[in-house]
Structure 1
Amino acid sequence: MNKQLFNFIDYLESKKTVDDRALNRVVLKKMCDYLYEVTKEKSLHIVEMAAGIGTMLERLIDWDLLPSTTYTMVDVSEEYIFRAKERIQIWAKRKNVDFTERNEKFILKKRDKKFEIDFCVADATRFFSRTSKKYDLVIAHAFLDLVDTEELLPFLFGALNDKGAFYFSINFDGETIFLPQISANLDQKIVYDYHRVMDEQQIKGKSVSGTNVGRNLFSYIHNAGGEIMEAGSSDWTVFPSGNRYSHRENYFLHCIIDTVSQTLKNQINYNIDSWIAARHDQIKNGELVYIAHQLDFFGTV
Structure 2
Amino acid sequence: MGGFRRTALTPAVDIPFHDYLEAKFALDERSLNHEVRSEFARWVFEQPRLTCLDLGTGTGASLQRLLSLPTNAHLHITAVDRDQALLDIARAGITNLLRQKGLGVAEKADGVCARQGQREIVVEFVCSDLRHYQPNRAPGFYDAVIAHAVMDLLPLRTMAERIARWLRAKGVFYSTINYDGETALFPVYADEVLENRILDVYDTSMEQRRIWDENSGGALAGRRLHSVLCETGFEVIAYGTSDWNIIPSRRAYRDHDATCLAALLNMIRNEAERSGQFSGDSLDRWYRERSERLAAGELGLIVHQIDLFAQKI
Q: Same fold (TM over 0.5)?
A: yes
Partner of 1:275: 286
Aligned pair in 2 of structure 1 residues 292, 2: CA closer, same or farther (>3 Å)?
A: closer
Mapped pair 1:300 → 2:311: yes
Partner of 2:3: none
Distance in 1 between residues matched to 2:243 and 2:22, nearest whole Å: 18
Match of 2:89 among 57, 77, 83: 83
Is contact 2:172–2:311 with CA below 8 Å preserved after alignment? Answer: yes
Match of 1:242 among 233, 236, 250: 250
Shift of 1:92: 3.9
Shift of 1:107: 2.5
Match of 1:6 among 15, 25, 35: 15
Q: Which amino acid aligns with 1:138?
A: V
SS at match of 2:45: helix
Distance in 2 between residues matched to 1:248 and 1:261, nearest whole Å: 20
Distance in 2 between residues matched to 1:51 and 1:244, nearest whole Å: 30
Aligned pair in 2 of structure 1 residues 66, 253: CA closer, same or farther (>3 Å)?
A: farther
Shift of 1:227: 0.8
Deviations 1:48-75 (A, max 9, x none): 0001111111123235367331111011
Match of 1:153 among 148, 160, 163: 160
Aligned pair in 2 of structure 1 residues 110, 195: CA closer, same or farther (>3 Å)?
A: farther
Distance in 1 between residues matched to 2:293 and 2:226, nearest whole Å: 37
Partner of 2:203: 195
Is contact 2:36–2:240 with CA below 8 Å preserved after alignment? Answer: yes
Gaps of 5+ in 1: none
Mapped pair 1:32 → 2:41: yes
Distance in 2 between residues matched to 1:131 and 1:259, nearest whole Å: 38
Shift of 1:103: 4.9
Comparing 127-136 with 288-297, which one deviates more in the overlay?
127-136
Match of 2:232 among 224, 241, 251: 224
Shift of 1:87: 1.8
Match of 1:141 among 145, 148, 155: 148
Q: Percent same amino acid at aligned positions? A: 27
Distance in 2 between residues matched to 1:27 and 1:86, nearest whole Å: 28
Comparing 268-277 with 233-242, which one deviates more in the overlay?
268-277
Partner of 2:52: 46
Distance in 1 between residues matched to 2:197 and 2:72, nearest whole Å: 44
Shift of 1:110: 6.3
Deviations 1:225-258 (A, max 9, x none): 1110111111111112232212222111110000
TM-score in terms of structure 1 length: 0.91
Q: Which amino acid aligns with 1:293?
A: H
SS at match of 1:287: coil
Aligned pair in 2 of structure 1 residues 291, 97: CA closer, same or farther (>3 Å)?
A: farther
Shift of 1:279: 1.4
TM-score in terms of structure 2 length: 0.88
Distance in 2 between residues matched to 1:146 and 1:224, nearest whole Å: 19
Shift of 1:287: 1.1
Aligned length, in residue pairs? 298
Shift of 1:205: 5.1
Aligned pair in 2 of structure 1 residues 289, 66: CA closer, same or farther (>3 Å)?
A: farther
Aligned pair in 2 of structure 1 residues 97, 298: CA closer, same or farther (>3 Å)?
A: same
Is contact 2:47–2:73 with CA below 8 Å preserved after alignment? Answer: no
Deviations 1:239-282 (A, max 9, x none): 12232212222111110000011112231422311111211211
RMSD over aligned Cα atoms? 2.2
